[in-house]
């Protein structure tokens, strides 16, 4: 009965978008999980990333919250912890920041040892298995394939270069959304001359991105993934091959 009611809810016209998103997330998560399971059969388990300062704080106060409100849900707990975290002064946050940096240093050492322990045979086998998986799951979205195959990420635009340059000036008590709004306002107030350095930076990043992208696409052609390569690069590569044959 519960599943029937859920089905009726999802089939209502106003909930179709919700249905689509739920199914899409389910599909993407299942494909990601399947690939991860496949990787575990080829490579040893990778060290886990350390938890950030906020989640270390959540662990620290979780027991207290549960004692005060035994029935508190995970969502409510995180909301409450988030409010308290925002009210903490820098001195109180520093303890968790230091703990995070210590854990991260340990993680980086473990990751280095892990990468050094992987043999070339294991890497080649994983690439082969991954290629077979992608070929057998041609219905995967291009976006998902890009992630799996390591496509270079798009470069930052001038505004995002500006945002990045200001990240160390962010007030810890200001939410990320509010902070970006403030930066958006200040960006609009900058003169053309003041924006020039960020525009130049974005241009340089864009040029490098195009180079990295083309290099990656050539690798994809050689490794049997022409479906993720832009048509103009395929034509360019084909013309080069034709000239070499002549």
Average pLDDT by stretches of 10, the chain with 246 residues = 43 41 44 70 86 89 86 85 87 90 93 90 84 67 76 91 86 78 88 91 94 90 83 81 61
Closest CA to 198 of 155, 161, 154, 156: 161
Predicted local distance difference test score (pLDDT) of residue 167: 83
Predicted local distance difference test score (pLDDT) of residue 139: 54
Contacts of 191 (CB under 8 A, 6+ apart): none
Answer for the pair 33, 144: CB distance below 8 angstroms, yes or no.
Answer: no
Alpha carbon distances (Å) from 244 to 31, 32, 221, 237, 238: 40, 40, 17, 11, 10
Predicted local distance difference test score (pLDDT) of residue 42: 79
Distance CA 32, CA 140 (A): 10
Predicted local distance difference test score (pLDDT) of residue 166: 86
Total length of the chain: 246
């Amino acid at each position: 009965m519960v599943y029937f009611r859920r089905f009726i809810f999802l089939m209502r016209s106003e909930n179709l978008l919700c249905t689509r998103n739920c199914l899409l997330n389910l599909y993407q998560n299942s494909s990601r999980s399947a690939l991860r399971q496949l990787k575990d059969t080829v490579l040893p388990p990778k060290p886990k990333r350390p938890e950030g300062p906020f989640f270390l704080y959540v662990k620290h106060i979780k027991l207290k919250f549960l004692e005060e409100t035994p029935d508190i849900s995970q969502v409510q707990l995180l909301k409450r912890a988030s409010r308290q975290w925002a009210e903490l002064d820098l001195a109180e946050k520093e303890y968790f920041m230091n703990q995070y940096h210590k854990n991260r240093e340990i993680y980086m050492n473990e990751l280095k040892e892990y990468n050094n322990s992987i043999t070339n045979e294991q890497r080649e086998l994983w690439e082969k298995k991954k290629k077979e998986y992608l070929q057998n799951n041609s219905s995967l979205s291009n976006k998902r394939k890009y992630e799996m195959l390591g496509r270079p990420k798009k470069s930052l635009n001038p505004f995002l270069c500006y945002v990045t340059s200001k990240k160390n000036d962010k007030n810890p008590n200001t939410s990320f959304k509010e902070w970006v709004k403030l930066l958006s306002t200040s960006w609009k107030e900058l003169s053309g001359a003041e924006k020039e350095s960020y525009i130049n930076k974005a241009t340089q990043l864009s040029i490098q991105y195009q180079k990295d992208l083309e290099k990656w696409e050539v690798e994809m052609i050689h490794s049997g993934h022409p479906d993720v390569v832009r048509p103009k690069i395929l034509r360019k590569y084909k013309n080069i091959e034709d000239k070499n044959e002549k």
